[in-house]
Amino acid sequence: MIKERTKEKLISIGLVSPTVLAIGIFVYGFIGWTIKLSFSDWNTFAKLLKGKFKFVGLSNYIKLLFQDPRFPSDLWNTLFFTILFLLGCVTLGIILALLLDRGLKGSIIFQNIYLFPMAVAFVVTGTAWRWIFAPGISAYPQGINLLFSKLGLDALRWRWFVSIEHIGPFNLALIPVVIAATWQLSGYTMAMCLAGLRGIPSQLIEAAQVDGASGWQVFWGVKFPLLRPIILSAMIILGHISLKIFDLVFSMTGSGPNLAVDVPALYMFETTFERLRYARGAAIAIIMLIMVSFIIIPYLISSMKREAKK
Amino acid sequence: MNTSPRANKITLYIVMVVFALFFLLPLYVLFATALKSFSEVSASRMWNLPTIISGEGFAKALEKLLPNLLNSFYLVIPATAFSAILGSLNGYIFSKWKFKGSDIIFPIILFGMFIPYQSILPPLVRFLMSIKLYNSIPGLILTHTVYGLPITTLIFRTYYTEVPTEVVEAASIDGAGILGTYWRVLFPISLPGFVVVIIWQFTNIWNEFLFAIVITSSPAKQPITVALVNLAGSQIVEWNAQMAGALLAALPPVLIYILLGRYFLRGLLAGSVKG
């Protein structure tokens, strides 16, 4: 019996070992290598050809954070983008889920319309929205501005992603990118909330209604508290996507005038693969990894703990 | 609550339609432009429907993008298959044959699906160069297989957790062994799990852009997402061809979504790490 146990254990470990090995190398080994790179002076093509590391400590990080105006402004952009994007996805997602939860005839068609952008590539979304938000010039409006003109809504015309307006460190040119990202991913919060709403026992809602609660009170008193953990996980998933956002911005606007829509992922790509300043690019990548880890590691730990309790 | 239920219903439908219009807006723009002829395409007429439906845009886009569409299929099919098969075996072990430390290894594997891939790109490129797979579709297949393992393992693990452990125990007491039990008991009931994983991986790998643009540098090797960005960024290609190209790039995953939406939704919900 004991012998068989050992044998089974060995087979189990054997079966997962290719994956463990692959993830060990491709995720953790490579991250380690990038960290090492970020502490090096591999910032010119000549040094790259020589292929030898020289350790320069935190110099790449210090330059990025304190001497380079572009990177701090990217971080502000990421913060602004994340706030607006989460606000958009959560509000829109809850509203759509509540609408669909009414179970009106034809709801499934609407659900499919709200959800299909999730199946579309960010670069497709970027291509379409770039064309929509291209502002044109004031005499010859284009895109959405042209539509506003036709509808007599000239007051809504704006420079969109080529705008240089800002509120403090927040660049308003990011708004059209947030709209495109919300268009693409609010279906995610909607699907999560809808699954949550359908899991609420109907007796609970009926009991509240018998007690004379209005629709609004039922939402805030019964539904919302039960949805809260679901909304929190959705925010973590969407939040970490927004810290990494690349495809959409790359295909829709690029860095924009005055770097108004620049994000760390764009800067990393340009630094590493266009200017071949590998060490500096690696430092950007590691800062992105640290930001993502701050929200994902607690999330993973709490998910695993919750599961262990079951 | 003194509005009549009928008026209430109509209001709800109006609200749902308004939201639907927002979601369909880019689709309208893509189709209205893609179906115009070269002579009719202009910024001032972008909201008008085409006066005559023209296939010029699609013909031009297809001529430019067909090789890249094929590249995407060559990439997506094997990468999806490999990551699904490995994910199924992993999910089986991590749910039914837990060993000491497996509950620690699992979240460590899972972390791999959340990392910004920027943090592994420089060594990945170097590694692919050293094994002569840089700038090749097999290089992308390897990359997507490995980085797809966390999510496929997660989905299968969640799926197999639902299978009663007694069923597995009964089979192993009959002397089936770990692989035998998988093959005879788990695999035959895994079809829904495979459908969810295959749809998820197909869609994600098809739509992926960062690995594609970094790993395949020559246009002949690039998958559709990179080719679309190049096409759309070009000043000489007409807008109708650009929009038609975007529609072509979107078509395969959207088709899958339309046909198998239920399973797509399940993958979506599974992706949020719920045990």
Which of A215, A273, A300 is the closest to B111 by Cβ?
A300
| Residue A149: per-residue pLDDT | 86
Q: How far apart are CA A179 and CA A133, in angstroms?
A: 10
Q: Which of A25, A61, A71, A120 is best to mutate for the B interface (most B CBs within 10 A)? A: A120
| Residue A159: per-residue pLDDT | 85
If phi over 0 gives left and psi between -120 and 50 gives alpha, with beta otherwise, what is residue A256? left
DSSP state of B136: S
Residue A173 has pLDDT above 80, yes or no: yes
**B93 Cβ under 8 Å from any chain A Cβ:** yes
Instruction: Tell me the nearest-neighbour CA distance from A123 into chain B, angstroms.
Output: 7
Domain boundaries, chain A: 69-276
| Residue B3: per-residue pLDDT | 62
**Nearest partner of B219 among B206, B210, B229, judged by Cα:** B229
Residues A122, B239: C-beta atoms closer than 8 Å: no
Which of A26, A285, A304 is the closest to B146 by Cβ?
A26
Q: For chain B, how many helices (H) and strands (E)?
A: 11, 0
| Residue B258: per-residue pLDDT | 86
DSSP state of A173: T
Decide if A35 contacts A289 (C-beta within 8 A): no
| Residue A1: per-residue pLDDT | 40
Decide if B197 contacts B34 (C-beta within 8 A): no
Residue B56 has pLDDT above 50, yes or no: yes
pLDDT bracket for residue B268 (50, 70, 90): confident
| CATH of range A69-276; options 1.10.3720.10, 1.10.760.10, 3.40.50.1980, 2.30.130.10 | 1.10.3720.10
Mean pLDDT (chain A) is: 91
Element (H, E) at A170: strand A170-171
The mean-pLDDT minimum among A19-28, A107-116, A283-292, B39-48 falls in: B39-48
Residues A285, B118: C-beta atoms closer than 8 Å: yes
Q: How far apart are CA B3 and CA A286, in angstroms?
A: 57
A189 burial level (CB within 10 Å; 0-12, 13-18, 19+): buried
Which of B99, B107, B118 is the closest to A12 by Cβ?
B99
Helices B224-233 & B191-207, crossing angle to 10 degrees?
Answer: 30
Helices B56-96 & B224-233, crossing angle to 10 degrees?
Answer: 140
Hey, what are A111's tokens? 């659900």
| Residue A3: per-residue pLDDT | 54
Residues A281, B122: C-beta atoms closer than 8 Å: yes
| Residue B2: per-residue pLDDT | 53
| Residue B271: per-residue pLDDT | 63
A20 burial level (CB within 10 Å; 0-12, 13-18, 19+): middle
What is the residue-wise DSSP string for B214-270? HH--SGGG--HHHHHHHHHH-SSS-HHHHHHHHHHHHHHHHHHHHHHHHHHHHHHHH
Q: How far apart are CA A197 and CA A207, in angstroms?
A: 16
Residue A48 has pLDDT above 80, yes or no: no
Q: How far apart are CA B6 and CA A123, in angstroms?
A: 42
Q: Which residue of B has its CA nearest to A141?
A: B44
Q: Higher model confidence: residue A171 or residue B17?
A: B17
| Residue A4: per-residue pLDDT | 59
Q: What are chain B's domains?
A: 56-270 (1.10.3720.10)
